[in-house]
Structures are given as C-alpha cells and as structure tokens.
Amino acid sequence: MIYKKNINIVKKIEKLMKSIEGLQAVYEDYRELRTFYDSDEWQSLYKETTENNRLDVLDENQLFDLIGQHNDCLGDLLELSATMYKVI
C-alpha cells in the first residue's frame, strides 16, 4: 500500500513539473501580450473594432481579467513556495 502511494506521489510531482514547464513556456507569450496591449498599435486596432468588424483583439475587460488571473496564479505560487520551504 505504501509503495502504491509513493508511485502516486511521484506521478503527481511529474505532472506538476510538466505544468510548471508549460507555465514557463507561455510566460514569454504573456509578456509579449502585455507589451502589445500597452502599445499604440493596440489602441489603433481597438478603435477599428466594431460589432460587424471583430478583430482578434481583447477588450479592456478581457485584458484586465487576464492580468488578474495571472497575478492570482503568481500569488498562489509564491504562497505555496513559501509554505513548502518552511517544511524543508
């Protein structure tokens, strides 16, 4: 029974590590997105967007939500890291 539990823990940690790698891989894309949405190009494209002419541009609320989710994720990771380091 202990062996099975250990195997499950190993699998969960491997899955977690893959998730972290995924987060690292997408982080540069996130930075580019933030840079784009802080640019004059976004302002121009956003002004051109109408109901009939939908461009693939996030509106201000979608961008705010995305940044909020990213910040919440970072906060959770920092809190978890601090807790885990206290146990070591």
Q: What is the pLDDT along the chain (88 residues), one digit of tens a residue?
A: 777 888 899 999 999 999 999 999 999 999 999 998 889 988 887 777 765 566 677 778 888 999 999 999 999 999 999 998 888 7
How far is it, in rounded angstroms, from Cα 1 to Cα 24?
35
Cβ atoms of residues 59 and 46 within 8 Å: yes
- Token couple for 54: 């939908």
How far is it, in rounded angstroms, from Cα 57 to Cα 33?
10
Please give the model's pTM, rounded to 2 decimal places. Answer: 0.67
State the SS3 of 15-40. HHHHHHHHHHHHHHHHHHHHHHCCCH
Give domain limits for the chain: 20-87
